[in-house]
Structure 1
Amino acid sequence: MHFYGLFGESLSHTLSPALHKRIYQKLGIDAAYKAFAFKPDLLEQAVSGVRALTINGVNVTIPYKEKVIPYLDELDSFAEKLNAVNTIEHINNKLIGHNTDYAGFGLIFERRNWTIESKTAMILGTGGAAKIVETYLLDHGIDHLIIVSRSPERFENTDKNTYTNYESLSSYNGDYLINTTPIGMYPDIASSPLDASVVHQFDTIIDLIYNPEMTTLLQLGVQQHKQVANGLDMLVGQAVKAVEIWENCTIENSLVDELIDYFQNKVSETK
């Protein structure tokens, strides 16, 4: 049996163990998956535990996607480019960092046939998830990005990127509004990073949160007849890519669709 897990600081409401269990069942893989929550000062020991206990691989979530890098033996070219790791492969006594969030985020657009080229997007947040979103959009031909930070002065504007703060959003509009912050995540489901007036200025609203299924931000979008999407596609997409790396296999798109439908219903049942 192969053994996998998830590293994070607060994991009480994660769907990852149930998601991986279902993937293994569907593919007939003899494997188990467990969430490991721990405080930041234990990260080095946790990584050492992967080596000592011959755990075959782990996923990594906030706040460790960048902090884990110094403890790994190598990064694939993609994780190195993004400076973020969400999947660790333990093979031949080496810990190799990968990033499957990029592909997971892309699934949101692929499944809906939403175009990116020549569009404008606003990204809320500047953390690790925001970097993934920014890189994916730039790689796929976005015309311009408006990146919202509490401290935009820390960043330098470029031809493609404009940094601004939350107090200056009334002057911006565009095609996509993408929330990468945890504001509105369970259990704080009444919160929204923006109000309805800003939502009105964008055509499509994406929230990387998947629990609740319909965040307050997405509800504002629905009320204004916007296209909306939550982060479940990204969660499933990155998990599938991680399993493909760990088990050296290829997973059909039909199973991805089935998993998304199944867990959409699961999240809805928890309302």
Structure 2
Amino acid sequence: MSIQSSTPMSTTDAQRTEAALRRLTPRWTTHVVHTIAKYGPEMRVSDVTRHFPALSQSYVSKRLATMSAAGLVARDGEFDRTAPYRLSSAARTLGPVYRALAQWSSDHIDRTPQGRYDRVEDALHRLQLADTTETVRLLSEHGSLRLTHLAERLGSPPQFAAVRLNRMQADGLVARTDNRHGAPYILTDAGRALGPVYTALQQWDHRHTAAAPRAVPAAERTLGSPAQSVRTAAALRRSPAPSALFSHAPVPQLRVPAGLTQAASPSRGR
């Protein structure tokens, strides 16, 4: 699927996308969202726990507290430990994000039969680590880059960038052009197919970040009338979110034979 856009993804966009991914990544988050959506609209900790026999009630309670801090669930009784949780508007609109992740995983990562929400959580786990989105952005823009050039653009020591690239190889997102020492990195088919996933994440993040009230510092309030500040903030919030990874003409990509990709990929560990 090709995505047309007049706005390229910037480094700031990549950072915001990774922040959105991290909100959704903690294990069981996807399953809990699905459970409350299906059996809610409100569920107590004990109600949620009954749907996950392998999890203790204390674990489910901690997961729901983490989801509350991430803005995915809410409860009316802040100090009532028995008050039920309900999905926030952000969680209720995760459908396009989950569908994009599940489709990407099914098409490019793991074609074995598995539950949709297991597939979504696996995809999130592959994409959420720091610098992964920026690395995908850089390789999409430049076509191929050596480790030292990637590390320089990421602002990371080469040894840290190497660890990230090894993980991305294991997760099927990047490969090396050949087995020579210092050979450049390129995106795999899976890495090049992430446009729809990033689009869905950016649109979801923009929708709910824009809806959140913005605190106006006292110093800013002295520079103009409240009405001017509100109008300016509203104009900024209406700015469209990038809808794809890049808008310029695609850089020709070297095709990596499947055998070479498998040979170059380290064994995957969690």
Query: Normalising by the residue count of structure 1, what TM-score does the alignment of the two structures yield?
Result: 0.28
**Bigger strand fraction:** 1
Q: Which has the higher helix share?
A: 2
**Structure number with bigger Rg:** 2
TM normalised by structure 2 equals 0.28
